[in-house]
Chain A
Amino acid sequence: MLGEGMLKGLAETAKNFAGSFVSKERMTTVQYPEERIAPIENTRDFPFLIFDGNDPMAGLRCVACQICEKECPPKCIYITKSADKKPDYVGKPQNYPTRFDIDISVCMSCQICVEVCPFEAIKMDTEFELSTTDRFGGLLLDREQLSKSNEYYNAIHPTEAAEVDERLAEEKAKFEAKAKAAAEAAAAKAAAVAAAPVTPKEAPPKEATSKEQTS
């Protein structure tokens, strides 16, 4: 009969209306500034730079290879390569960025910079409360603002960070084994030429410096 569906609909909304006062699970609203829910693990918005150790500027993993700058679709990354080199996490001397700026008003959160980075130096952040009163300077983040510790990365993306750490540890072990082998070879060579009056002193200091860096 005409109007039957209408009555059913009215009953449904009445049920919702009454139910919203008594049952907690009906109300899914999170009243944001006061209440917060933790972001899910795959949340991502803008990239940040990872550093190891305690000093953000010294521990930056970024070697200023500028791959991300070139790959960035909206071209919002600006990097200046350093003239000098400093040792990276395994001890190899590398360049570092004297300037690393990301304009997050241009960034489209595509994560391509993260995909292309060979040094696991740039990752996606979950921080979303970025509003500022200065829409030009305030949204152009420099390397001091962008650098965040590896522990922070582990906290926001635990699974992904664990994989990254494992891979880096593996690479480092490989590098150390190689360095050790090289040192041994050098030592053997030195022993072989021990009869000779010249004593080679190249290998041991190198090993020492690499150990210092990794600790």
Chain B
Amino acid sequence: MSFLANLDQVFVLLQHWIAGFFPLWLQPVVATILGVIAIVATFPGIFAVTTVLERKGLGRMQNRLGPNRVGPLGILQPVADGIKSLTKEDIVPLSADAVVHFLAPVLLVIAVFLGFAVLPVGRNMVLVNFDAGLLFFFAIGASTELSIFMAGWSSRNKYSLLGAMRAVAQMISYEVPLLLSSVVVVMITGSLSTVKIVEAQSGFTGWFPHWYVFTPWGFAGFALFVVAALAETNRSPFDLPEGESELVAGYFTEYSGFKFALFFLGEYLGMLSIAGFAITLFLGGWGAPFSFLGFVPSWGWFFLKLLAAIAFFIWLRGTLPRLRQDQLMNFAWKFMLPMALLNLLVAGAWRFLGDGWGRWVICSIVLLTAYALLGRVLMRKQGLGARSYRYAE
């Protein structure tokens, strides 16, 4: 058992061992730098794997093979992509604001990397245990909007600007339900610290874990969070900002070479971090899904869950067509926001209704009724259904 316990803490022990070679006053700095290096190495690595898995998975969903030329089964495709984007010419439009044009992708990647600082990827494996870790993450996440708008504005290109306007409108609209849907977790846990949130979900009843997703308010919150997260990261079906059929490539139309690759990296890292937070908030973070599987290292569970979340995102991308702009806005303000607000009330009721089965029934019924009613009203009045044509047919 001590071997398994060591395996669970292997990265923490490694960090302490390396830091032990330095004088005492330098050790906290060295430990932090090691943590930063680990984050900066791990998540882009997952990004590289994700790109090839995504292309292969999407291919399979469309009955194609996907990339299979570079290396066995195409797994070295990201290397080829990286070399390609490094060797490509870096073009800056003559009329672009060169400084802002350069800063935008850099700021995006920096902001996204900062979000990983408060993400607990395993037991004792969090770079900074902020008391307000969740708040920090959302504050940092909101700054990606700024860099996207910088990119769109500085390019001096109508497609870039339109894409950036769309991105800002979309991201600000979905920031609200994203935040509100995670507030329920804070209400129940009583803490903004990501570590405390994971610890609050670490208990078991019989075999089953106390993950928040297995409660009515938690499930509703999780669903809202995932939809809002898709919109925040500009993933399909919310990829209007870069809708290639209308806007060439949206806000990064004028980017080429490695700056384009940085945008690509930033986008996927944003997806990884927000998926990581969905896992932390609702899926028990690094906790095992069954009590008898506790011997698997905690970081193993976290990354398994992360891969599953990415697979789900890819699955959604392979399935859903892009929304129209009015549908997008209607969905955010007329469905997501009321549901998220109602979910706050339900979470409060859950807290004060006591321990019996009554709160399960009441909370579930309230949420289901609201979902059905809101969905029906939306389908009828807000044009979320099939498009109807008055003259052409």
B-binding residues in A (CB < 8 A): 1-3, 6, 9-10, 12-14, 16-17, 19-21, 26-29, 31
CA distance A13 to B60 in the complex (A): 9
Smallest Cβ-Cβ distance to A31: which chain B residue: B65
| Contact status B372-A1, CB under 8 Å | yes
Query: Which chain B residues lie closer than 8 Å to A3 at the CB level?
Result: 375
Residue-wise, chain B 94-117 has the 8 Å CB interface mask toward A (1 for contact) of 000000000000000000000000
Contact A21 B65 (CB under 8 A): no
State in angstroms the CA–CA spacing of A2 and B384 once bound together: 9
**Which residues on the A side are within 8 Å of B63 (C-beta)?**
16, 19-20, 26-28
Residues on A with beta carbons closer than 8 Å to the beta carbon of B57: 17
| Closest chain A residue, CB of each to CB of B64 | A29
**Does residue B379 face the partner (Cβ distance < 8 Å to A)?**
yes
User: Which of A2, A3, A10, A17 counts the most B-chain CB atoms under 10 A from its CB?
Assistant: A2
Q: Interface size for chain B: under 10, 10 to 19, 20 to 34, or 35 or more residues?
A: 20 to 34
Cα distance A50–B109 in the bound complex, in angstroms = 63
Chain B contacts for A1, CB-based, 8 A: 371-372, 375-376
Within 8 A of A (CB), among B299-336: 315-316, 318-320, 335
Q: Taking A13-B319, A14-B315 as contacts, is the C-beta distance between A2 and B376 under 8 angstroms?
A: yes
Q: Any chain A CB within 8 A of the CB of B62?
A: yes
A1–B335 Cα distance when bound, in Å, is: 13
**A residues near B62, Cβ cutoff 8 Å:** 16
Q: Does B33 contact A (CB under 8 A)?
A: no
CA A21 to CA B318, docked complex, whole Å? 17
Chain A residues positioned under 8 Å from B379 (CB to CB): 2
B61 within 8 A of partner (CB) = yes
Say yes or no: A20 contacts B371, CB within 8 Å: no
Known interface pairs A1-B372, A2-B378, A17-B57; A9-B65 also in contact (CB < 8 Å) = no
- Which residues of A have CB within 8 Å of B384? 2
Q: How far is the CB of A136 from chain B (nearest CB, A)?
A: 26
Once A and B bind, how many residue pairs between them come within 8 Å at the CB atom? 51
Does A13 contact B372, Cβ atoms closer than 8 Å? no
In the complex, chain A residues whose CB is within 8 Å of the CB of B61: 13, 16-17, 20
| Of the residues B60, B316, B375, contact of A20 by C-beta under 8 Å | B60
Interchain CB contact (< 8 A) of A9 among B68, B320, B335, B375: B320
What is the distance, in angstroms, from B282's C-beta to the closest C-beta of chain A? 18
Known: A2-B376, A6-B320, A13-B318. 16 other contacts (CB 8 A): A1-B376, A2-B371, A2-B375, A2-B378, A9-B319, A9-B320, A10-B316, A12-B319, A16-B62, A17-B60, A17-B61, A20-B61, A20-B63, A26-B63, A29-B64, A31-B68
A13→B313 CA distance, assembly (Å) = 13
Contacts of A14 in B (CB 8 A): 315
Q: How far is the CA of A20 from the CA of B376 in the complex (A)?
A: 36
Residues from chain A with a CB closer than 8 A to the CB of B374 are 2
In the bound complex, what is the Cα–Cα distance between A31 and B64 (angstroms)? 11
| Measured CA separation A186–B319 after assembly (Å) | 84
How far does the alpha carbon of A20 sit from the alpha carbon of B315 in the complex, in Å?
15
* Residue from B57, B63, B374, B379 whose CB has the most chain A CB atoms within 10 Å: B63
A75 to chain B, nearest CB (A): 36
B386, closest chain A residue (CB): A5
In order of increasing CB-CB distance, the 9 nearest A-B pairs are: A2-B375, A9-B319, A13-B61, A13-B319, A20-B60, A26-B63, A17-B60, A13-B318, A17-B61
Residues of B within 8 A of A19 (CB): 63
- Please give, as numbers and ranges, the residues of chain B lying within 8 Å of A13 by CB-CB distance: 61, 315, 318-319
Between A1, A12, A31, the greatest number of chain B beta carbons within 10 A of the residue's beta carbon is seen for A1
Determine the distance from Cα of A10 to Cα of B372 in the docked complex, in whole angstroms. Answer: 20
* Cross-chain contact A21 with B375 (CB below 8 angstroms): no
> In the bound complex, how far is the Cα of B320 from the Cα of A9, in angstroms?
7
CB neighbours of A16 from chain B (8 A): 60-63
Residue from A3, A17, A28 having most chain B Cβ neighbours under 10 A: A17
